[in-house]
Amino acid sequence: MARGPKARLPDRRDEVAPAQPKLVRRSVTTGGATTVIRFDTRTPFDENRPQPGTTSALRPTIFRAGSGAGSSPVFTPVDLTAMAPEFTHLDPLGRARMVDVTAKEPSHRRAVARCRVHMEAETASRIASGAISKGDVLAVARVAGIQAAKQTPHLLPLCHPLLVGAVLVNFRLEDTYVEVEANVDTVDRTGVEMEALTAAAVAALTIYDMCKSVDRSMTIGDLSLWEKTGGRSGTWRRPIAETDPFSL
């Protein structure tokens, strides 16, 4: 009796073992409190993708670390929807993100930043008299500050590219320092605080670069936001204290 070919048994080597669930923990510490995030690596986290058959977004399990009776911490579940957005540039897993401003309406916004370049009295005198060999120190620093404001999103990775409407960079020359003030205006969906701070900082760096051949001991400091207007948070102005270097 003729026999047909033997049935080929499946090669076990061709089979791939199913992925095993793996519990991953990631800790994020903000404001002195530690949040532990636990999620299954088989299911990539996507806060915008709903679970099958539901309309709720798929989220990892969040636990807040607290002290227990023993040596090990106690983890309490945390409702993500109730957590205040302490850092808007971090997602629930602690990863960097650009804040979504597409739903906002453009509005007029303004920011003012200041800083100082401290130097020897002789250096300040040379700036005032135009005796610096590289040229007009304040004119070059002004152009550098204006250019820097427009380049801010290329320097700071999570800043939004904005249509910068106006940049003004002014200086106050005193006996032992130059005070830099940068004003930036825009009509856009987010503020220009970082543009103003960047403009002031780069203008100060340019003053250092122009004068370093005669005074390498110069220092740059007191960089701060002085004022911002517009946007959802409205107007903010820095309080002036007696010890504030800008109160003089």
Is the pLDDT assigned to residue 120 strictly greater than 70? yes
Closest CA to 65 of 50, 55, 57, 76: 76
Is the pLDDT assigned to residue 56 strictly greater than 80? no
Confidence of residue 88 (pLDDT cuts 50, 70, 90): confident
pTM comes to: 0.64
Known active-site residue 209: yes
Mean predicted confidence (pLDDT) in 214-242: 93
Q: In the prediction, which pLDDT does 146 show?
A: 98
How far does Cα 246 stand from its chain's mean position?
Answer: 25
Share of the chain above pLDDT 70, in %: 62
Mean predicted confidence (pLDDT) in 162-171: 96
Is the pLDDT assigned to residue 47 strictly greater than 60? no
Mean predicted confidence (pLDDT) in 209-225: 97
Q: In the prediction, which pLDDT does 34 show?
A: 55
* 3-state SS, residue 246: helix
Where along the chain do its domains lie?
22-82, 107-247
First to last CA, the chain: 112
Tell the CATH topology of 107-247: Alpha-Beta Plaits (3.30.70)
How far are the Cα atoms of 25, 204, 226, 248 from residue 238, in angstroms, in the given order? 40, 21, 5, 15
Q: In the prediction, which pLDDT does 36 show?
A: 53
| Token pair listed for 61 | 């399990």
Q: In the prediction, which pLDDT does 45 show?
A: 44
Put residue 174 in one of left, alpha, beta given phi > 0 → left and psi -120 to 50 → alpha.
beta
Q: In the prediction, which pLDDT does 33 show?
A: 55
Q: In the prediction, which pLDDT does 92 show?
A: 74
Catalytically annotated residue among 209, 215, 222, 244: 209
